[in-house]
Amino acid sequence: MLTLPSDSIRQIQWRFAERYDLQMLVQSARGVARGTVAHMVASGERNSHEWTPAKNEMLEAFDRAGITAAFMEPEEGGFISGPKNLALALAAFELAWVDGGAATASLAGFLALAPIHERGTPEQSRHYKSLSAPPQIGEERKPWRGAFVLTEPIPYVGVDTGMLNGKARIADWRDGEEPWLQVEKRGRFITNIAFANFVTAAVASDDPRIKGSCVIILEETDEGTFDHGTPTKKLVHQLSSTGDPIFNLKVPASRIVGGYTVKDGVLVPNFNHSEVIEAVFRRTRVTVGLMTAAKLLSAVEPVIRYQRGRFRGAEGAKPGTVRYEQGIQQREDALHRLVDVWATGEAAASLGFAAARIFDELDPIEKQKTGILSERGVGSGRAELKALRESEQRAIEFLRMREQDARRAEFAADPLVQFVLKDAEANVLCPATKLWNTGNGANVMREAVSLMGGYGITEDCPGFLASKWMDAQLEATYEGPEAVQRRQLTITMTSDVFLAEFRAWTAEMRTIAATHPGTGACTLATAMRMWLWTLEHLQKATDAAGHKLYHGQRQGVTFPLVDALCWLLASRYQILDVLELEQRGSTDPSVADAAMGTAQFLSDLCHVQSARAAGEVSRICAELVFGYNEHPSWSDQACTTCCFSTDELEELEETMPGIAAMAIDVLKPNGSHPPKAGPCAGCKGAGDFLQLQNKLCTCLSGSRLAKDRAADTVSKVMIPEALDYPL
């Protein structure tokens, strides 16, 4: 690989080489990010909590660049028709490459509209999206800005979105007329609030004439109080606005997102607040995960430049000397650590873009599924789950079919089977992207910062790395922190359909390993087997006190298993992207040469990452498999199975010479034993696990050679003279 991966290469890897509209969006978002946004950061605009004129101009730059309109359908003022998950993810990736707050400022507007887009009535959707679209040429109008208001002052909504304090009551309901509602809501940490013209707020009923909860649209000009609140004193994402607003407003019931019906004199929202929020976060959390991926990859170029130039200007470092040309890159550790940062960034981007794409694929299939089920008279909720059970069985059967099975085409064409498959994958990929990219990404960003030495923790650090490190922590927190993603994955990763997919993916990695051993696919396949073995073991096993290990409340068991899965998933999608690059790149003469060299390097990064993932999985699984057993003591039953007596050993020596030298836990005739707390623990019931672990260790063969190769490439790859944005 001679140069850093080009746009053409990324377009192939992340599968938008045929999407000219998305390529244009990337270019225009990049222009704003590396122009307007980068200048704002460089000139200290992050130093204020206030919403400043410069920050406001940034929103206008988003509008001009088409970023705001990327959310809308063409008839609403947008330019992309159909699903837009990948589009929004790419735009956020470009903005977060320079500044996470800028990316959030654009995403928060979409987040405000998302409840209306996902669950709103067609009229609500058209109305608010058209108002929020930037004006067309010749149109004199300011676009509306929105905020999404879920989180409330402590002790209410945070991670637990069920504890709502925001309330709605009937203010006025005249016969035959639309009811009016009095809505009270206080928000905490609400993005975009300084300038929001409307908000979508989650509230619960405080009136027997309203059922349950809902999300409701509140406008700045509604009767009552729309207090934007004071700015939050954030340490992160300062280019976005955040504050604690207060609302007490009278609004018509038609503002309930998704509408309502009236049953026996009670107003019943068509969707409760949880249903709306679930549909929203399911998609928007992917984009947040991609923001951290962008940060990691954006660190590569500044770190290389810093490392190479580190000693230039010193007396002993004359041009042409290794010290001058390579600087810190003479040192293996510096290169290896950068390889780790780069590999994490690649894996995070691959996982995130795969998640964004699957939602683009899922959106039309989901509509098809809803159509088919409503034709059959099946409602939503439990009835739908029941109706899809047969399709789940068919999906599992489909995954197990051989290539030549005559029924494959029929199953592949069944929209319900396809829905069930994609839904199971999406239900895992979204929280996995949010959890792994941001949580692990924040840790790895620290590594990136450390590679710049003292410079790394100054405002002058090229690439704004220290800000990105801190910003990554917010990405791990908002839209639901890590516990929320782990809780969700605990459920979705154990669905029968997902586990069948996971088995198929394990086999797929073995097949890939046959032709592409350099990707580390074989290591990954073994680690995937170990994860599955551990899950199945823990689902049956109990702890030393006889208590069940795998259940929702036992986060000490379920959460680490979730983390282990995320490592595996990130590695899998990273490998798949490199294969795509190799296959598609080789057939495109315009990129063939660069694609092959880059694919080789990225393949080495896959190997590095899969070895790391395997290590994490092995560590986590071993702790869970053995950690809940009581350590044996000399007094208990363990002695009868684990220990030898001196007499026994003497007898055994006759048939097995040398055994006495191997025996560790030997009881002497007087009952004394070695000076330890108890005999060493055995591996009863976990022999298969140890075999797998053994295999996994040997599967790591070659992974460090791959790291050496990758490090060598990093030390030679050409980078531009200067970063293409200030600093």
Ligand X SMILES: Cc1cc2nc3c(=O)[nH]c(=O)nc-3n(C[C@H](O)[C@H](O)[C@H](O)COP(=O)(O)OP(=O)(O)OC[C@H]3O[C@@H](n4cnc5c(N)ncnc54)[C@H](O)[C@@H]3O)c2cc1C
Binding residues vs ligand X (CB under 6 A): 108, 147-151, 158-159, 189-191, 234, 237, 242, 474, 477-483
Grouping H, G, I as helix, E, B as strand and the rest as coil, residue 552 is coil
Q: How far is the CB of 294 from ligand X (least distance, A)?
A: 18
> How remote is the C-alpha of 234 from its chain's centroid?
23
Q: How far is the CB of 688 from ligand X (least distance, A)?
A: 31
Of 562 and 591, which has the nearer Cβ to ligand X? 562
Of 470 and 706, which has the nearer Cβ to ligand X? 470
Q: Which amino acid is at 270?
A: N
Tell me how long the chain is.
Answer: 727
Of 88 and 354, which has the nearer Cβ to ligand X? 88
Of 151 and 307, which has the nearer Cβ to ligand X? 151
495, 427 contact by CB (below 8 A): yes
Give CA–CA dist 311/313, Å, rounded. 6
Q: How far is the CB of 481 from ligand X (least distance, A)?
A: 4
Give CA–CA dist 12/115, Å, rounded. 32
Of 552 and 671, which has the nearer Cβ to ligand X? 552
Grouping H, G, I as helix, E, B as strand and the rest as coil, residue 419 is helix
485, 447 contact by CB (below 8 A): no
Grouping H, G, I as helix, E, B as strand and the rest as coil, residue 672 is coil
Q: How far is the CB of 541 from ligand X (least distance, A)?
A: 22
Within 433-495, residue ranges assigned H as helices are 441-450, 465-477, 482-492
Of 26 and 474, which has the nearer Cβ to ligand X? 474
Q: How far is the CB of 77 from ligand X (least distance, A)?
A: 23
Q: How far is the CB of 416 from ligand X (least distance, A)?
A: 34
Residue nearest to ligand X (CB): 158
Grouping H, G, I as helix, E, B as strand and the rest as coil, residue 541 is coil
Of 152 and 425, which has the nearer Cβ to ligand X? 152
Q: How far is the CB of 156 from ligand X (least distance, A)?
A: 9
Q: Which residues contact 378 (CB under 8 A, 6 or more apart)?
A: 384, 387
Instruction: Report the candidate in 506, 492, 494, 480 with the shortest Cα–Cα distance to residue 569.
Output: 506
Of 295 and 707, which has the nearer Cβ to ligand X? 295
Query: Cis before residue 122, ω within 30 degrees of 0?
Result: no
Tokens 């470092």 sit on residue = 317
Of 147 and 164, which has the nearer Cβ to ligand X? 147
Q: How far is the CB of 54 from ligand X (least distance, A)?
A: 19
Of 124 and 242, which has the nearer Cβ to ligand X? 242
95, 81 contact by CB (below 8 A): no
> Of all helices (H) and strands (E), which one includes residue 223?
strand 223-227
Q: How far is the CB of 192 from ligand X (least distance, A)?
A: 7
Instruction: List the structure tokens of 97.
Output: 């490459």
Q: What is the DSSP string of 165-208?
A: --EEEEEE--TTS--EEEEEEE-SSEETGGG-SEEEEEEEE-ST
105, 58 contact by CB (below 8 A): yes
Q: How far is the CB of 703 from ligand X (least distance, A)?
A: 33
